[in-house]
Chain A
């Protein structure tokens, strides 16, 4: 097991190097650069900048250096100082922008992931155990509805319900009077009152699909001979089902849990925009629209790194849960 983990971790290193390089190339791809934008802004403000001066600034900032040199400078700044460069749209360090929103994004995404699993696994198991029962059909209907209704529509409906019938102020993560206030019990309660809508929206969408996956996996597993063996040992139905087939049926879940990591980070962009949530998703969307290259590049790099780490985590978890992979 240790051998397996060490080997996987070592393999992740070259992957990360390649991924970060590709991220950097992507930032450079759009025509124009930071200086072009800065000079255009200065000219707008009535300052006179010649092409020679523009070129000097570029040289001073190192933008004329070969791509490889620039890459090494960019990546070493990130690695050594945590400096992701400057966002010229927000005129603030990229790192501050991203880390500022990361906390709330992770809380929200983790909550919705936990709820997704809490709903999807028991319901999927029940549906498979009692296939074609009334509740199975009911869950199936809700599953397809949940899958079919776009998240943002559900978000709008829930906002309207909360606003019109429950008389709540909805949207955002807290009421305006708590913005920028230090953390207090009242503020925490207020956040809880707001956060349920995105959590419900994100969890239903995710759970609807996962219920189907879990049900199908369980149906496959329940018919296998080892389940009959387990019954023949005198275990109760609950012990059999949760002890044996669920363990095996969870493997596809475990192998995809790593993908949740980048998804946690980017969040559900449209839902976040509709609900006006201060998460990283809308920030990424905006940075792409504005060609805010260092911000977008920082995002792409972090997303890629999270994907690599997530896959690594999945592999390790899967090896831990399924001996056939560990020893293969």
Chain B
């Protein structure tokens, strides 16, 4: 299955994306949503992906799941490789949405949690039925066994009275309870990778903290890798081992959590961190903001996509040339002409 032109994945590598490109054919022409995205996830680690709306973070994981919309067009050069058991590289980017392999992987090896717990569960089926269907599909077991598994899972996500909850409908639960049920559904076949697409965005902060704690304890217990998508840096600091920052369909910076928070190299990452209020920081009248707004995806600026909003941009260089990816110690890299030369403003 592995592509001969790609170097083999190291054994600790679970998922490897290279040069993934996704565009959408719309009435107004082609929109590039994901440009040459490269990242990887190792076994058992938590990768946080941070970015604004429209930065392509959700589209990228849908490319992994092969659940892109019908009008999506993928670039030919990209590859998505997945090594669930450590002994076979599966080239997911070559798979069709409904291929047998993808159907085995989805739900079986990769679980996914969605943003809207209110609508992401079927309103006319009980939570138990929805979990049991997945368990029966992948484990080829009977109803009794699947039901026992559903009850076990609901207990694992710390829902009270799992025997009772299994027969509840989503509308009878609160948002936090539904998101717990959603997590139980995603984890029902012990996936090696859990993709969480803004799982706490629709929840209030107290519930958010509980769900994050739950995800962390489940990860300790089950050891699966997590791709955690969010637009909230605080959440990333809480849960992630490594971070990738996305802007306009590109990964502008990636590195360990500590490197990203204490030594950000990309002006966008720096600006984002400065826009977060922190306890104990010097009193300022206003928080720093990033000037301008995200450019229209139909009309991405030439050169560095961030140069129109960057405080350090050199119009001659940044406005014409796409910056190279500069690597730093500890697996950190940034997509900026001046990375490493700027004063590090993260502190």
- Does any Cβ of B come within 8 Å of A226's Cβ? yes
User: With A and B bound together, what is the CA distance between A231 and B98 in angstroms?
Assistant: 9
Q: Does A233 contact B (CB under 8 A)?
A: yes
When the two chains form the complex, which single residue of A224, A226, A233, A243 contacts B107, counting CB atoms closer than 8 Å? Answer: A233
Contact of A225 among B102, B107, B116 (CB under 8 A): B116
- Flag if A323 contacts B107 (CB, 8 Å): no
- The smallest C-beta distance from B178 to any residue of chain A, in angstroms, reads 11
In the complex, which residues of chain A have a beta carbon less than 8 angstroms from the beta carbon of B115?
A: 225
Taken together as a complex, chains A and B put the C-alpha atoms of A182 and B118 apart, in Å, by: 61
> For residue B169, which residue of chain A has the nearest CB?
A323
Question: Which residue of the partner chain B has the closest CB to A238?
Answer: B98
Does A321 sit at the interface, judged by CB under 8 A? yes
Knowing A323-B124, A323-B171, A324-B123 touch, does A231 contact B67 (C-beta < 8 A)? yes
Could you say which residues of chain A place their CB within 8 Å of the CB of B186?
232
Q: Tell me the interface secondary structure of chain A in the complex.
A: helix
Inter-chain CA distance A273–B182, complex, in Å, is 57
In Å, the complex CA distance between A244 and B123 comes to: 9
The smallest C-beta distance from A68 to any residue of chain B, in angstroms, reads: 47
- Assess whether B119 is in contact with A224, with CB atoms less than 8 Å apart: yes
A-B contacts counted at CB < 8 A amount to 81
Q: Which of A196-237 contact B (CB under 8 A)?
A: 224-226, 228-237
Q: How far is the CB of A253 from chain B (nearest CB, A)?
A: 14
Chain B CB within 8 A of A111 CB:
no
CB distance from B181 to the nearest CB of A (A): 11
Please, how many angstroms separate the alpha-carbon atoms of A273 and B273 in the complex? Answer: 79
Give complex CA distance A228, B103 in Å.
13
Is B137's CB within 8 Å of the partner chain A?
A: yes
Chain B: CB-nearest residue to A231: B67
Q: Is the CB of A233 within 8 A of B134?
A: yes
Judge whether B171 and A236 touch: CB under 8 Å.
Answer: no
A135 to B30, CA, bound (A): 26
B112 within 8 A of A: yes
Q: Per a CB cutoff under 8 Å, which of A231, A234, A244, A321 touches B122?
A: A244
Report yes or no: B133 in contact with A233, Cβ–Cβ below 8 A: yes
Task: Return chain B residues, CB-CB under 8 Å to A321.
Answer: 124
Q: Which of B103, B124, B133, B186 has its CB near the most chain A CB atoms (within 10 A)? A: B124
A233 contacts B169, C-beta separation under 8 Å: no
Judge whether B150 is part of the interface by a CB distance below 8 angstroms. no
- Which residues on B sit within 8 Å (CB–CB) of A327? 169, 171-172
Question: How many residues of chain A are within 8 Å of chain B by beta carbon?
Answer: 22
Contact B106 A229 (CB under 8 A): no
User: Which residues of the other chain, A, contact B182 by a CB distance below 8 angstroms?
Assistant: 229
The answer on a CB contact under 8 Å between B138 and A234 is yes
Q: How many residues of B contact A (CB 8 A)?
A: 34
The CA-CA distance from A226 to B171 in the complex, in Å, is 13
B67 and A234 within 8 A (CB) = no
Closest to A244 in B: B122
| Chain A: CB-nearest residue to B171 | A324
Q: Does A247 contact B (CB under 8 A)?
A: yes
* Contact across chains for A233 and B106 when beta carbons are under 8 A apart: yes
The reply to whether A233 and B123 form a contact with Cβ atoms under 8 Å apart is no
CB closest residue in chain B, given A228: B67
Q: Does B85 contact A (CB under 8 A)?
A: no
Q: Is A226 touching B67 in the complex (CB atoms < 8 A)?
A: no
* A contact residues around B185 at 8 Å (CB): 229, 233
- Determine which of B105, B121, B123, B133 lies in contact with A235 in the assembled complex, contact meaning CB atoms within 8 Å: B133
- Asked if residues A324 and B169 are in contact (CB atoms below 8 Å), the reply is yes
Known contacts A232-B67, A234-B137, A234-B138; A226/B103 CB under 8 A: no
Q: In the bound complex, do residue B114 and residue A225 qualify as a contact, i.e. CB atoms below 8 Å apart?
A: yes
Pick the contact of B123: A230, A236, A248 (CB < 8 A). Answer: A248
CA distance A45 to B301 in the complex (A): 100
Cβ of B171: which chain A residues have Cβ within 8 Å of it?
323-324, 327
The residue on A at minimum CB distance from B114 is: A225
Kindly report which residue of chain A lies nearest to residue B117, judged by CB atoms: A225
Q: Kindly state whether residue B104 has any CB partner on chain A within 8 Å.
A: yes
- Residue from the list B104, B111, B119 in contact with A226, Cβ < 8 A: B119
A322 interfacial contact with B, CB 8 Å? yes
Distance of A210 Cα from B229 Cα, bound (Å)? 41
Contact with B along A255-288 (1 / 0, CB 8 A): 0000000000000000000000000000000000
In the complex formed, the residue of B with least CB distance to A324 is B171
The 8 A CB mask of A4-35 against B (1 = contact, 0 = none) is 00000000000000000000000000000000
Chain A residues positioned under 8 Å from B148 (CB to CB): none
Q: Is the CB of A234 within 8 A of B121?
A: no
B141 at the interface (CB under 8 A from A): no
Q: Is the CB of A234 within 8 A of B123?
A: no
Residues of B within 8 A of A (CB): 65, 67, 98, 102-108, 111-112, 114-116, 119-126, 130, 133-134, 137-138, 169, 171-172, 182, 185-186
CB-defined A-B contacts under 8 Å, sample of 11: A228-B67, A229-B120, A229-B185, A232-B65, A232-B186, A233-B107, A235-B103, A235-B107, A236-B98, A244-B125, A327-B172
Residue positions of A touching B, CB distance < 8 A: 224-226, 228-237, 243-244, 247-248, 321-324, 327
**Other A-B pairs beyond A232-B112, A233-B106, A248-B122, 8, CB < 8 Å:** A225-B114, A228-B67, A229-B120, A233-B134, A243-B133, A323-B123, A323-B126, A324-B171
